[in-house]
Structure 1
Amino acid sequence: MKDILIASFDMEVGGVERSLISMLENFDYKNHVVDLMLYKHQGDFMDLVSNKANLLDEIPQYTTFRKSISKTLKDKQYSIGLARILSKINADLTGRIKKTAEPGYYQMQLMWKYALPFLPKIDKEYDAAISYLWPHYFISEKVQAKKKIAWIHTDYSTVDTNINMDLKMWNKFDHIVAVSEACKSSFIKKYHQLEKKVIVIENITSPEFIKKMANEVVDNPLTNDNRFKVVTVARLSHAKGIDNAVKALKILKDKGYEDIAWYVVGYGGDEVMVKGLIKELKLEDSFILLGKQTNPYPYMKAADIYVQPSRYEGKAVTVGEAQILSKPVMITNYTTAKSQVKDGIDGYITELSVEGIATGIEKLYKNSVVRNGLTNNCSKTDYSNSYELDKLYAIIGD
């Protein structure tokens, strides 16, 4: 039996968390003992975590990464609170100087760097330790393991980080797992020194689970909406491009497409900005934020088309889930898009811009033949892939 540690932040609603749930559900527990380290035992997905994994107790210092600075100080974690304050000041200043669109990634790097001296180590030694969500300092610095493996879920060519700081961390790992070939390629472009460490293991999908959850009865406003329904499931963040989606719907409304409604399942830091934009463009009746939903699948199932308006992605879990539900899928042409769908076969790729999103939706709205073709091709495709985990077992055991 191999002793495995898997670490992540929490189980809030998100694509990375859903992929972790699927991985834990499909893990080979006959040959592996799995300890799961969540920095904070919170999130609507906590109940979905496989009971075959051993959930380790919270460690107070690590719970601070899912708390506000004020709450961290209130909990008397003064050193970590000060580290958080310094990282925010430094990142904000650097972001303004460099005109960075999203300085949060650099802030997170600094937060871990400054906090490391105050974080405890784990006593147990593992055969393999897996860090499932960047930044990976906990596994790289605070865990003893014969093999260390880090997961990458995003397109790193679009993420503004301090490369030298990252390289020091990545070099502590024996293997780096990308969730798609395109995700791997974009990572290697930025960190070419690490090419030999990177392998691809796709997110584990469970069609049976998704179809079962899609049939659950929920309070679903889409059921009684006779308009053409666009659905997106995503964080309200810069990466996911929800602001561009709002602007795209405005273009369509100005063209006279009054019977299109766009529903977004999700929450996040851009919520106030997105709500303000919806109000400014007078789209309150047609661009509808459904907020955080533990089960997004009934909303996906009720969609006429599923749209991913992202600025960048590693491999969007939600796109694969929409395909499993045989939905016509449209995604923007982010760097890794062609690894996500076969354009014109089981999905449609449109230009990554506000106009591109509007044009793509207009095309699918007007052309039921194209929509039906995408639906039929998805329904004939087997999206299950638990065999991907064999690659993980191979690098754990080599």
Structure 2
Amino acid sequence: MVRKIKTLVVIDNLYTGGVATSLYNYLYFAHELMDIHLLVFDKDSIDKTKVPDNVEIVTPDKGLHILGKNHSRIKQESFLMMLYRLIMIFLARNINGVVSRMILWPFVKRQSGYDLAIAYAQDDSYKSISKGCIDYIIKRVVAKHKSVIVHCDYKNFGGYDLRQINMFKKLNSIICVSDSCKRNFIECFPNLRDKTIVCENFTNVDAIRKLAAEGVSYPTETVNFVSVCRLSEVKGLYRTIEALGELRDNGIVNFTWTIVGNGPEYEKLNCIIKEKQLTSKITLVGNKENPYPYIKHASYFVLPSLHEAAPMVYGEAASLGVPVLSTETCSAIELVQEREIGVVVPNNYDGLLQGLRKLIMNPNSIHIKNNMDFNKFAMIQLKNFIESIKN
């Protein structure tokens, strides 16, 4: 029997979001190829039903909770840990995250004996204590090969600082989740070109289709758009409301838009929808543990973001047979247009307006192939990466 490479996968927490979904999918597809050990700084955030039986869950040192839990959870756990975290935040904001974490590492034991250690997410910014996954595998893990998976568009995500190169240089490889993400990362760090590769996210098609079996009803004989996202300014929701309002004012009313998710902009978005008298057309349904029925029964999935990296929802929507309307962000041309799962429009108000208008006026203009292999490229890339580690 060929020995599997012993791999430690590290992340801060797995509460919500695309990175958490990406990791669960990674475990699902990679666990037969690798001997995976999972270390989550906040172990309580793990949904064990999504972790394969042969993946070993490593219990983290309590000090790592500072990096994995938010402030309110830390306060409930320990007042002293909360004070410790406040000191780290102060140091991070006034110096940088690497320096602030130096006061934590002496109290965190080393993990050793691994062929590969993967930090499953990059830091939020140079002056943040989070996520700390790269710093952890550099300082507290003994492994022959160390890597990070970069899930962001480094040029535009807001956390880029050239000085981060000092941390990335200590890794053996940097894995980006699309070719476009790789190009933008290399533009930021050209000296790391030779270390940077691509391994796309996996899409758990069977699980998604099973979850989507629940019924959700939309109005009949209308074009029903859906978006599933965190309600933040970067998602471009405001300009989409404006565009749909303009279409309504011009007599184009054969549409609805359902927005699934929550976030800091919820109340503001709700107020704007009411002010524009669009409550019969646009509905905020809040967070849903299972958003897939909303996607499955929609006409189109809309992703109007100002910037994105390689969103999981592209593959998720396509796996349910729902075409995507995306603004032109980092990987949109590569993952949507070139793979023929939807349409990409210019990343501005007029681009969204014209794209929405065309889909409403021509509701059956986009179709998705039924025989798509959603994980073909991701599996090839993963196997090539594993072979490179072995060699």
Whether TM-score is above 0.5 comes out as: yes
> How far apart in 1 are the matches of 2:199 and 2:386?
11
Q: 1:83 aligns with which of 66, 84, 88?
A: 88
Alignment RMSD: 2.5
Residue matched to 1:57:
59
- What is the percent sequence identity of the aligned residues? 26
1:356 CA displacement: 1.6
Residue matched to 2:385:
392
> Would the aligned equivalents of 2:179 and 2:198 in 1 still touch at CA under 8 Å?
yes
1:34 equivalent in alignment to 2:36: yes
Structure 2: state its 5+ residue gaps: 124-133
Residue matched to 2:314:
319
Provide the TM-score with structure 2 as the length reference: 0.86
Q: 1:256 aligns with which of 251, 263, 272?
A: 251
1:36 CA displacement: 0.5
> Would the aligned equivalents of 1:326 and 1:379 in 2 still touch at CA under 8 Å?
yes
Residue matched to 1:134:
122
After superposition, where does 1:195-274 map in structure 2 within 5 Å? 195-215=193-213, 217=214, 220=216, 222-223=217-218, 227-274=222-269
> Would the aligned equivalents of 2:230 and 2:261 in 1 still touch at CA under 8 Å?
yes
- Which SS does the other structure have where 1:117 is aligned? coil
1:261 CA displacement: 1.6
- Which SS does the other structure have where 1:146 is aligned? strand
Residue matched to 1:333:
328
- What is the identity, as a one-letter code, of the residue corresponding to 1:11? L
- Which SS does the other structure have where 1:379 is aligned? coil
> How far apart in 2 are the matches of 1:272 and 1:113?
37
Residue matched to 2:26:
23
Residue matched to 2:128:
none
Residue matched to 2:180:
182
- What is the identity, as a one-letter code, of the residue corresponding to 2:173? H
1:236 CA displacement: 1.9
Quickly say closer, same or farther: Cα 1:226–1:366, change in 2 above 3 A: closer
1:9 equivalent in alignment to 2:12: yes
> Would the aligned equivalents of 1:324 and 1:383 in 2 still touch at CA under 8 Å?
yes
> Would the aligned equivalents of 2:300 and 2:322 in 1 still touch at CA under 8 Å?
yes
1:267 CA displacement: 2.5
Structure 1: state its 5+ residue gaps: 91-108
After superposition, where does 1:87-166 map in structure 2 within 5 Å? 87=92, 90=94, 110-111=96-97, 113-119=99-105, 120-135=108-123, 136-161=134-159, 163-166=161-164
> How far apart in 1 are the matches of 2:90 and 2:220?
46
> Would the aligned equivalents of 1:44 and 1:294 in 2 still touch at CA under 8 Å?
no
> Would the aligned equivalents of 1:240 and 1:308 in 2 still touch at CA under 8 Å?
yes
> How far apart in 1 are the matches of 2:24 and 2:42?
16
> How far apart in 1 are the matches of 2:151 and 2:292?
21
| Cα offsets for 1:182-205 (capped at 9, x unmatched) | 111011111111000011111112
1:322 CA displacement: 0.9
Provide the TM-score with structure 1 as the length reference: 0.85
- What is the identity, as a one-letter code, of the residue corresponding to 1:129? A
1:118 CA displacement: 1.4
- Which SS does the other structure have where 1:51 is aligned? coil
Quickly say closer, same or farther: Cα 1:113–1:233, change in 2 above 3 A: farther
> How far apart in 2 are the matches of 1:87 and 1:275?
35
> How far apart in 2 are the matches of 1:197 and 1:11?
27
- What is the identity, as a one-letter code, of the residue corresponding to 1:169? M
1:73 CA displacement: 4.9
